[in-house]
Chains A and B, each alone.
Chain A
């Protein structure tokens, strides 16, 4: 469904490519974005594709052997619960319908509705890394694509790959989940279209003592 060309994704055990502090060319993600369901992946279709891939890895069905080598309901690697769980997680993580992105020369902030913002600072020769007791986040450029990787406990890694279409009015976020309980990563693409949040004539700014202050006056 997506119109974007995606780079190969790191799978389990694969070492992800190092990220750069500069994009290979001018890319500006700044702006307000809203989710386009019609252009985004159908999660059920992606789940079906994952199941087919796992079956392919498990080998062709043999005599007296069922086609599915996936242990639905069992608790081991590639169990049904783990595979479905991964798809549910993908839906859970990518449900933001609105994004607000601010990008400067040395940083970017991707604010996501009902989720935490993805932030990245670009310092020459350094990979932007955030360490917390609950997880680790790295980010940087891979050519003209912006990547965020979130490493969480329980063997879960999440990667968001942001790609802008050449016209600059459509944004694809390919979210890949890697679990140590499923042998193949699960990727879902969400496509966002640019929109103008000030079209209603209201501008807001945050203040500490008065909260969000809005005005209809032009700047």
Chain B
């Protein structure tokens, strides 16, 4: 028995680093990806303006299991996850902007089909010690640029988090580098096609009567431009103006996410630091207690008090973490709600104006082409 306890303690420590991830992957330990390690951000000069695709980073799926019973076991604090889902895309956006290889990079409240390059994803695990995201990127033609699980581990030196830094910055740098590598596999013609298809998809959404014939979907479902509008086509110029209006709205939404990021950053950094220290302390404490040999006689007050106190302190520690999560919610939730409200209002306004614009555009088309006015 004496030999078994230290062995159990060692096993516990050995398993410790992968614990939260195994939970994040529903126990599939084989699926654990290798951490990205130390990554330097590539800041190569773009080959030309044609390569400066606009990138939309959609807020992440928080990855909260519907089965609420699993939240405690999986170390998932739903409100914090929801806040992270808005916070983490801002870090990816910043990495892409820092790389200087892209056009406008925006955080979007929802997927935008006509985006030149769209990044979507899900939080698989986030516990201050490691971060695991599943990310996908696809361009307007439907071509997948990447679809992989990224994982990064924080080092002790990453905490406390310095202003402007992030313990998992390597992960975002890796994604930025992978996107750049994916873009480098495409030629100028293909990149120009992406931009053309993006505009035509937007135009087609706006006025299917006028633009749907410009596009078709091939056997794999990807969009192909059959023909292009004539140079100086006034209708496409109108479409571009309206798209710029949409971008203005989205930039305002993006600013709201940035504001949330800035307000949340100090609290979130502290939370992740607590989470990491707590997990390390708890694993070490449990290992120490399990490895300890008691001199107290079984059944005596001293022996019972020893096992009770060991359990009590481990529970108090876990519950302190719950309290801190509540403190996090108390502090961040009003901001999240406020930002969500503003984003919602913006979406509403955007949708409404879109509808009006689309209708006006259709009417202009009807006047110019003699086609009947259609409503969607």
Query: Do the two chains bind?
Result: yes
Spell out A's residues near B (CB within 8 Å): 75, 77, 79, 81-82, 84-86, 88-89, 92-93, 106, 115-117, 119, 121, 123, 126, 128, 130, 132-135, 150, 152-156, 158, 179-182, 205-210
State whether B307 touches A123 (Cβ < 8 A): no
| B212 close to chain A: CB less than 8 A | no
Residue in contact with A133 in the complex, picked from B12, B69, B267, B324, CB distance below 8 Å = B12
**Closest residue on chain B to residue A158 by CB atoms:** B308
A84-B301, A89-B304, A181-B298 known; A123 vs B286 contact (CB < 8 Å): no
Spell out B's residues near A (CB within 8 Å): 8, 12, 68-69, 72, 266-267, 270-271, 274, 286, 289-290, 297-308, 310-312, 314-316, 319, 323-324, 326-328, 330-331
State whether B312 touches A115 (Cβ < 8 A): yes
Instruction: Give the shortest distance, in Å, between B104 (CB) and chain A (any CB).
Output: 33
State whether A205 touches B314 (Cβ < 8 A): no
State whether A156 touches B308 (Cβ < 8 A): yes
B316 contacts across to A, CB distance below 8 A: 116
B315 contacts across to A, CB distance below 8 A: 116-117, 132
- Which 6 pairs of residues, A with B, have the shortest CB-CB distance? A181-B299, A116-B315, A85-B301, A82-B299, A208-B327, A135-B311
State whether B314 touches A132 (Cβ < 8 A): yes
Instruction: Give the shortest distance, in Å, between B197 (CB) and chain A (any CB).
Output: 46
A92 contacts across to B, CB distance below 8 A: 301, 305, 308
State whether A205 touches B308 (Cβ < 8 A): no
A82-B299, A121-B69, A208-B270 known; A134 vs B304 contact (CB < 8 Å): no
A123-B69, A155-B298 known; A206 vs B307 contact (CB < 8 Å): no
State whether B324 touches A208 (Cβ < 8 A): yes
CA distance A210 to B323 in the complex (A): 13
State whether A121 touches B68 (Cβ < 8 A): yes
A81-B297, A132-B311 known; A206 vs B69 contact (CB < 8 Å): no
Residue in contact with B331 in the complex, picked from A106, A152, A158, A209, CB distance below 8 Å = A209
Residue in contact with B327 in the complex, picked from A84, A93, A182, A207, CB distance below 8 Å = A207
Interface of B is mostly: helix
B302 contacts across to A, CB distance below 8 A: 85
State whether B286 touches A179 (Cβ < 8 A): no
State whether B326 touches A206 (Cβ < 8 A): yes
Residue in contact with A85 in the complex, picked from B299, B319, B324, B328, CB distance below 8 Å = B299
CA distance A121 to B73 in the complex (A): 12
Residue in contact with B310 in the complex, picked from A134, A150, A155, A205, CB distance below 8 Å = A134
Instruction: Give the shortest distance, in Å, between A208 (CB) and chain B (any CB).
Output: 4
Residue in contact with B299 in the complex, picked from A123, A182, A207, A210, CB distance below 8 Å = A182
**Closest residue on chain A to residue B297 by CB atoms:** A75
Interface of A is mostly: mixed
Instruction: Give the shortest distance, in Å, between A214 (CB) and chain B (any CB).
Output: 13
CA distance A93 to B311 in the complex (A): 12
State whether A209 touches B286 (Cβ < 8 A): no
**Closest residue on chain B to residue A87 by CB atoms:** B301
State whether B307 touches A153 (Cβ < 8 A): yes
**Closest residue on chain B to residue A181 by CB atoms:** B299
State whether A81 touches B307 (Cβ < 8 A): no
State whether B267 touches A208 (Cβ < 8 A): yes
For this complex, 16 residue pairs linking A to B, each with C-beta atoms less than 8 Å apart, are A81-B299, A82-B299, A85-B303, A88-B301, A92-B308, A123-B68, A132-B286, A133-B290, A150-B311, A152-B311, A156-B304, A206-B326, A206-B330, A207-B327, A208-B271, A208-B274
**Closest residue on chain A to residue B11 by CB atoms:** A133
From B266, B303, B328, B330, residue with most partner A Cβ within 10 Å = B303
A92-B305, A106-B68 known; A209 vs B290 contact (CB < 8 Å): no
CA distance A173 to B247 in the complex (A): 62
B308 contacts across to A, CB distance below 8 A: 89, 92-93, 152, 156, 158
Instruction: Give the shortest distance, in Å, between B322 (CB) and chain A (any CB).
Output: 8
State whether B330 touches A207 (Cβ < 8 A): yes
A181 contacts across to B, CB distance below 8 A: 298-299
A77 contacts across to B, CB distance below 8 A: 299
B274 contacts across to A, CB distance below 8 A: 208
A134 contacts across to B, CB distance below 8 A: 286, 289-290, 307, 310-311, 314
B323 contacts across to A, CB distance below 8 A: 206
A84 contacts across to B, CB distance below 8 A: 301
**Closest residue on chain B to residue A150 by CB atoms:** B311
Instruction: Give the shortest distance, in Å, between A204 (CB) and chain B (any CB).
Output: 11
State whether B330 touches A179 (Cβ < 8 A): no
CA distance A18 to B127 in the complex (A): 34
CA distance A128 to B302 in the complex (A): 30
CA distance A206 to B323 in the complex (A): 8
A208-B324, A209-B266, A209-B270 known; A135 vs B307 contact (CB < 8 Å): yes
A106-B68, A182-B299 known; A116 vs B330 contact (CB < 8 Å): no
A207 contacts across to B, CB distance below 8 A: 327, 330-331
CA distance A209 to B306 in the complex (A): 34
A154 contacts across to B, CB distance below 8 A: 298-299, 303-304, 306-307
A123 contacts across to B, CB distance below 8 A: 68-69
Instruction: Give the shortest distance, in Å, between A124 (CB) and chain B (any CB).
Output: 10
From A86, A89, A130, A133, residue with most partner B Cβ within 10 Å = A133
**Closest residue on chain A to residue B286 by CB atoms:** A133
